[in-house]
A and B are shown apart, each in its own frame.
Chain A
C-alpha cells in the first residue's frame, strides 16, 4: 500500500508570480500522510525511488533561474524543496486537459472570427453586385421604355420637322412651277 502510494504521488508547484494558478502555500514534510493518492488511476511509469529527494525535470525547463520556477515530481515522504500546491496525478491530468480545452476554444474562436470576416466580406461583395445589377436593370428598363414610347419633346421635334419638310417641299414645288 505504501509503495502504491509512493508511486502515485505527484507534486505540482506553481510559483505565485509566474503561474496562472494562485493558491495557498503548502509544504510536505517527511511524514505527511497523503490519503487522497489512492484514487489515482492513470498509468504511472515513473521509476520508483526510495531516495527522499525531489526529482527536478532536467529537459526544456532546466535553464530556469530557480528550481521553484519548475513543476517538480516528488514522492510520498520526500521533503518538498519549496512551498506550493500538491496535486494528485489524476487531478493534475484533469488540469492539463482543462488547459488543453481552453487552448482549443481559443484556437476555435480565432478560426470562427476569421470565417466571420470572410463571410461578411462575401456578403458585402454580393450586396455590391446586387446594387450594380439593380442599377443596370433600372437603366435597361428606362431604355426599353424610351425605345417603345416617344417623349413629349421628341414628338414636338418630329412635328416641327414635318412642318419644315412640308413647307420646303411646297416652296420647291412653287419654285419649280415658275
Chain B
C-alpha cells in the first residue's frame, strides 16, 4: 500500500510539474513571439518617421526654391527660355 501511495504521489507530482512547465514554456514562447512582432512594428514605425522627416525637409526645400524663383530677377530671354522648356 505504501508503494501504491508513493507511486501515486510521484505520478501526480510529475503531472502537476509537467502542466506547470508547459504553461511557463507556452507563456515564454508567446512573449518571445510578441517581442519579435513588436520589434518589426517599431522598425516600421521608425522607418515611417524617417520618411516623414524627409518629406518635411523636401517640402521646405520646395517652398524655398519657389521663393527663390519668385524673387529672382529675370530678363526676357529667361522667360522665353522657360516657356520653351515647358512641356
Measured CB to CB, the residues of A under 8 A from B are 10, 12, 14, 20, 42-46, 57, 59-61, 70-73, 89, 92-93, 96-97, 99-101, 104, 107-108, 111-112, 114-115, 118-119, 121-122, 125-126, 128-129, 132, 136, 143, 161, 165, 168-169, 171-172, 175
Contacts and interface: CB of A to CB of B under 8 A. Distances in A.
A165 B43 CA distance: 57
Interface in B64-78: 65-66, 69-70, 73-77
A168 B83 contact: no
A108 B38 CA distance: 33
Contacts of A96: 74, 79, 82-83
Task: Say what secondary structure dominates the interface of chain A.
Answer: helix
Contacts of B73: 42-43
Nearest to A7: B76
A135 B78 CA distance: 65
Contact of B79 (A92, A121, A161): A92
Nearest to A61: B84
A165 to B, nearest CB: 8
Say which size band chain B's interface belongs to.
35 or more
B39 to A, nearest CB: 11
Contacts of A70: 84
Contacts of B69: 97, 100
Contacts of B63: 104, 108
A165 B7 CA distance: 12
B70 A172 contact: no
A132 B66 contact: no
Interface of B: 1-2, 4-5, 8, 12, 27, 30, 34, 37-38, 41, 44-45, 48-49, 51-52, 55-56, 58-59, 62-63, 65-66, 69-70, 73-77, 79-86
Given A42-B73, A100-B66, A73 B80 contact: yes
B41 A129 contact: yes
Contacts of B37: 132
B67 to A, nearest CB: 10
A135 B6 CA distance: 42
A118 to B, nearest CB: 4
A60 B85 contact: yes
Contacts of B48: 118-119, 121-122, 125
